Amino acid sequence: MALDAHGTPDGRAQLVTGDAVVLDLRPAGFATRVLALALDIAVQGLLLLGLILTVAAISDGVDQAATAAVSLLLMVLIMVGYPVAFETSTRGRSLGKMALGLRVVGADGSPERFRQALVRGLVGMIEIWSLSGVIALVTSLVDRNGRRVGDFAAGTLVVSERTRRTGQDQVPMPAHLAEWAAAAELSGLTPDTAAMARQYVLRFGELTPHARHEMGVRIADLVASQVGPPPPPGTTPPDYLAAVLAERRRREAERLTRARSAGTPPAQG
């Protein structure tokens, strides 16, 4: 499907994360990152305290060298394994980052990979635990994107994935596409793709011209692979996506209305 797109590649590259939560790679604020780190350290501190108490309780009559070796291994697992396991399984979020709405992504906006999480965890053991976090704090303050040494080594960036709610979160239907949208087949549109398109349309005004162009074409092509038929010639990606989303919302509202009238649970779709 060919769609006209506007924008010139003169802005900072801003990409979509793997699950389309963050649209413009907005680096997380320093205070927010510090608070998220403090929450994670508190959780790890509780785990370490539990480890110390457990070792103290079972150390009597047990070989001291073996106890020390096991204790060291478990400490490393807590300090390194905790962030690596969480960030890998949740695609870039630890408990602290979940609480503050942050996520670790690749420097190009791609989802954080296990290798990157492992590098961040290993370097973090030195710059955060061994050096009391001084190096991490200084590096984050100096770098304009707030990256610590582990981020440089892993090629990652901590971003804020929470979007601002203004109350104007309904996507309007472009009048010239209403007739096309009413006859379009939308059953193949997945919730993840719809969420991605919605974020793009709602935050269109915040994006640079380059981001509008690159992301608009990419997201429109993805939606077009799940929706048919193609829109009228000359339709721009923002109008196309807005029409699909507005029509999808209208049909969902109709289903809810029919379900309430019939006294049955609304159909999923």
Q: Residue written as tokens 């989802």?
A: 111
Residue 162: the pLDDT is 62
137-146 average pLDDT score: 86
Q: Which residues pair with 157 in a beta bridge?
A: 105
CA distance 70 to 1: 59
Contacts of 181 (CB under 8 A, 6+ apart): 173, 243, 244, 246, 247
Read off the pLDDT of residues 99-127 as tens digits, 9 standing for 90 and up.
998 989 887 667 789 999 999 999 999 99
**Measured over all CA atoms, what is the biggest interatomic distance in the chain, rounded to whole angstroms?**
82
Give the H or E element holding residue 182: helix 178-183
At residue 238 the predicted structure's pLDDT band, cuts being 50, 70 and 90, is: very high
3 state SS of 149: helix
Read off the pLDDT of residues 61-91 as tens digits, 9 standing for 90 and up.
677 777 788 888 888 889 999 999 999 998 8
Q: For residue 17, give both structure tokens.
A: 């994360």
Determine the distance from the C-alpha atom of residue 179 to the mean position of all C-alpha atoms in its chain, rounded to a whole number.
35
Highest mean pLDDT among 139-153, 162-176, 197-211, 225-239: 225-239
Domain ranges of the chain: 30-160, 175-262
Contacts of 38 (CB under 8 A, 6+ apart): 96
Residue 220: the pLDDT is 94
Please answer whether residues 259 and 188 qualify as being in contact, where contact means their C-beta atoms are separated by less than 8 angstroms.
Answer: no
Output the CA–CA distances (angstroms, integers) from residue 147 to 67, 134, 151, 244, in the order listed. Answer: 37, 13, 5, 38
**Nearest by Cα to 192 from 16, 19, 28:** 19
- The answer on pLDDT for 2 being more than 70 is no
Output the CA–CA distances (angstroms, integers) from residue 86 to 26, 79, 148, 171, 197, in the order listed. Answer: 22, 12, 19, 34, 27
**Nearest by Cα to 244 from 160, 187, 161, 166:** 187
Read off the pLDDT of residues 13-63 as tens digits, 9 standing for 90 and up.
344 433 333 444 578 888 889 899 999 999 999 998 988 888 777 777 677
Please answer whether residues 177 and 240 qualify as being in contact, where contact means their C-beta atoms are separated by less than 8 angstroms.
Answer: yes
Q: For residue 104, give both structure tokens.
A: 């670790």
Angle CA 164–169–172, to nearest 5: 145
Q: For residue 25, is it left (φ>0), alpha (ψ between -120 and 50) or beta?
A: left
HSE-CB of 177 using CA atoms within 13 angstroms:
24
